[in-house]
Structure 1
């Protein structure tokens, strides 16, 4: 039996650290977009360097788009593309399964 090559490629994306969380995060934002500083504020444990790299990866896959507005001050937003939004919607059943079947450790790591 063969593994579906499309599923394999999808897990190459989602299997990398932060990618699934970033797609999920942007799908929940107003207009499916956010500024770098907003993402960094809300995903506290990602480093700025890692966030920058991950946003670039997701853009390379066509899942997000970097929109630069040449206003003063300069504004950069990261927007989920239709392809990225479709992937976020495909992840909803996985999230529902996790809520029903996984227990989270609610201890504060600090």
Structure 2
């Protein structure tokens, strides 16, 4: 299974991303606040929060708080990227929210692709290659021509 598929297993459902969005950017931690803000059914919210705790994206604090872990906070760039994509390709209006750098309170924050050698690169200049985590059986199938 590729890394995108593994990621989607954990957070690839609409409610999951909205819960994480509220935790990241609105600093929501309480079950009732997630439920109120999102209008999500309590059984769905319970299941999503439990899966986040089980996967290490959130931790329980006390009896009602759900706190993002470093693993959860690391999703911020992915959510910013999805927001920017949605603003450009799925919205007929101007962006409803803008991401800003807290330390300077003025700088706009964007998700961009960065080459460690060249800096920012456009999406059409990005390609993929087989990485060290590629399963040997996949490589054998490719060499044998069965794929």
TM-score class, shorter: 0.7 to 0.9
Which among 61, 66, 90 is matched to residue 55 of structure 2? 61
Residues 96, 17 of structure 1: alpha-carbon distance in 2 compared, 3 angstrom cutoff: closer
Q: Which stretches in structure 1 are left out of the alignment for 5+ residues?
A: 69-74, 105-110
**Displacement after TM superposition at 1:54 (Å):** 0.7
Task: Choose between structure 1 and 2: higher helix proportion.
Answer: 1
- Alpha-carbon RMSD: 1.7
Q: TM-score, normalised by structure 1?
A: 0.74
Query: Rg: which structure is higher?
Result: 2
Structure 2 gaps of 5+ residues are 93-147
1:58 Cα offset (Å)? 0.9
Q: Does 1 or 2 have the higher relative contact order (CA < 8 Å, sep 6+)?
A: 1
Higher strand share: 1
For residues 77 and 22 of structure 1, the distance between their equivalents in structure 2, rounded to whole angstroms, comes to 13
Question: Aligned pair 1:89/2:77, yes or no?
Answer: yes
Aligned length, in residue pairs:
92
